[in-house]
Structure 1
Amino acid sequence: MPQHNNDEVEDKSSVLESREARLISDQQNKEIVLKTSSEKSVSTEKNFSERMKTHKFWLVRVIYFVFYSVWMVVMAIGMFIAWLIAMLFI
């Protein structure tokens, strides 16, 4: 009979140890999630272009769209010139 009680005590202690190990790993996982979520919150801030596009003052939005349109035209001309140069060397 004394052997039976020792087995029960060992089983209960192993169950408690596994629960403690699970709790520790759960806490570590929560810390990792909190760290990554705080890193994500930094990257969700609006950049300069998004802020100007949605600015509350209309003049800032107009200036943004004028510069954006001019920039797109300049880039399109530059791509066309690069394409022409590439066709010369084929």
Structure 2
Amino acid sequence: MGLSILKVSIRQIKAARALLNWSQDDLATHSGVSLPTIKRLESSDGSVGGRVETREAIIAALQKGGIVFIPENGGGAGLRLAKRLSN
């Protein structure tokens, strides 16, 4: 699956939460990852550590919320909030 190739940093996770206006508790709820685990992961810096399943659940929840992760491509890794389709 493509998620395992995606390198996401703790800073990107925090920035994604800020764009979505999600607390750590919101991320825990949306991802199914425990709040203590979210807090532990966010207390470090660098790439998201922990189990692959945990990392993928967090990334998938943020993507479902509308976050698009931008890979390192010479300009630095980043993210953006996807355009919402109006109904």
TM bucket normalised to smaller: under 0.3
Relative CO higher for 1 or 2, CA cutoff 8 Å, sep ≥ 6? 2
More strand by proportion, 1 or 2? 2
| TM-score (norm. length: structure 1) | 0.24
Rg larger in structure: 1
- TM-score, normalised via structure 2 length: 0.24
